[in-house]
Amino acid sequence: MAAVISLDGVRDKNVMQLKKLNTVLFPVHYNEKYYTDAIASADFTKLAYFSDICVGSIACRLEKNGVMSVYIMTLGVLAPYRGLGIGTKLLKHVLDLSEKKNNISKIYLHVQTNNEDAIAFYKKFGFEIVDTIHNYYANISPPDCYVLSKEVHAKK
């Protein structure tokens, strides 16, 4: 039987799973506001399970600056589980959800300029580099990032 990839929402009772994943996946320490925003975004933040093992996550923040945007704070999958479609399933979940809601106009994120795998991954889904921010990251090298953005067109 093939392993099943399933998604689950992040809540107070399982937010530690997200914290553990972030510690392993990212060179950045996230503060409590990150986790508050992640939980507040409800269905836009998900944990990914591969045969009941938590192996990845996507955490988003909903922003309203005249228009609604979804900011992808983090998307990551543990190294042994990459290439199995887990990151794709997480991102597609957020893309589909954004299209179903009529008020979201774009999805965007920051990617370190040397993270070619992530840049190629997002470009496959129609994201474009719209800006470069120098010295965005404080304690990692290179400190620069690209802003990748994708317009959302609501499904009728």
Q: Residue 39: in which H helix or E strand, if any?
A: helix 32-40
Look up residue 141 and give its amino acid.
S
Ranges 1-5, 38-42, 100-104, 129-133: which has the least confidence: 1-5
Query: Which residue ranges make up each domain of the chain?
Result: 5-151
Catalytic site positions: 71, 110
Q: Express each pLDDT in 24-78 by its tens digit.
A: 998 888 999 999 999 999 999 999 999 989 999 999 999 998 889 999 999 999 9
User: Could you give the CA distance from residue 9 to residue 3 in angstroms, rounded to a whole number?
Assistant: 20
Q: Which positions ≥6 away from 26 have C-beta within 8 Å?
A: 74, 76
* Sign (positive or negative) of CA dihedral 62, 65, 68, 74: negative
Structure token digits, residue 139: 């304690």
pLDDT at 2: 60
- Residue 138 has a pLDDT of 84
The pLDDT of residue 156 is 58
- Work out the average pLDDT over 78-84: 95
Identify the CATH number of the domain defined by range 5-151.
3.40.630.30
What pLDDT does residue 1 have? Answer: 47
Cross-strand bridge partners of residue 146 = 111, 132
pTM recorded for the entire structure:
0.93
Question: Is the separation of the CB atoms in 61 and 38 below 8 Å?
Answer: yes
The pair of three-digit structure tokens given for residue 2, joined into one six-digit string: 């093939």
